[in-house]
Amino acid sequence: MAVFGYGRVSTKEQTTANQRREIEAAGYAVDYWHADEGVSGKVTAAQRPQFAKMLNQIRDGETLVVTKLDRLGRDAQDVGATIKMLAARRIEVIVLQLGKLDLTSAAGKLMLTMLAAVAEMERDLLVERTQSGLARAKAEGKTLGRPSSTTDADRRAITEAHTNGVSISALARIHNLSRATVMRIVKPAA
């Protein structure tokens, strides 16, 4: 029976090479390697191009190895559904960070449920802390977001010049701005 390895990274700047090396260093001879690079964990497993391709290739009773649980999905529902679907096909799912534990077994399902719940709570707490930090910064009067590329004086000059008939393209060249920026200044949203 074949051993399938699967890796995923969220950005194109990252690579799944380390994940494959980790799987092989753990003693698994990977017969088929599938990797989604630049694909967020928020995308459900079945909608990831390489994961879907792997699902079509892997046969019932074979083995899937990943380095970490979050390679299979980001929330408890997605991971649970993926494991359940693989278990129905008797595909052994090995997650290296959990040791040699088949997630499709009874003990594996229990461990999976607990870990997924903890991971989801951690993500919720991270979002909560981020929102709290943003609210605090706003309350302290800090300006959030990208700094403005123009000053109040620049915006007044651009508006006045446009009123006097200078084109948006000419204003963009003069002030070294994009046409979109000039348009936002001279035609503010209602």
Count of beta carbons in the 10 Å neighbourhood of residue 78: 19
Q: Return the H-helix or E-strand segment holding 64.
A: strand 63-66
Task: Write out the catalytic residue numbers.
Answer: 10
Q: Supply the pLDDT for residue 189.
A: 58
Q: What is the pLDDT of residues 27-61, one digit of tens each?
A: 999 999 999 988 887 788 888 999 999 999 999 99
Give how far the C-alpha of residue 47 lies from the chain's centroid of Cα atoms, to the nearest Å.
13
Residues in the chain where the model's pLDDT stays below 70 = 189-190
The CA–CA distances, whole Å, from 120 to 1, 51, 117, 136, 171 equal 34, 22, 5, 24, 50
User: Can you give the pTM of this predicted structure?
Assistant: 0.61
- Cβ pair 138, 169 in contact under 8 A: no
User: How far, in Å, CA of 70 to CA of 107, rounded?
Assistant: 19
- Burial level of 95, CB count in 10 A (0-12/13-18/19+)? buried
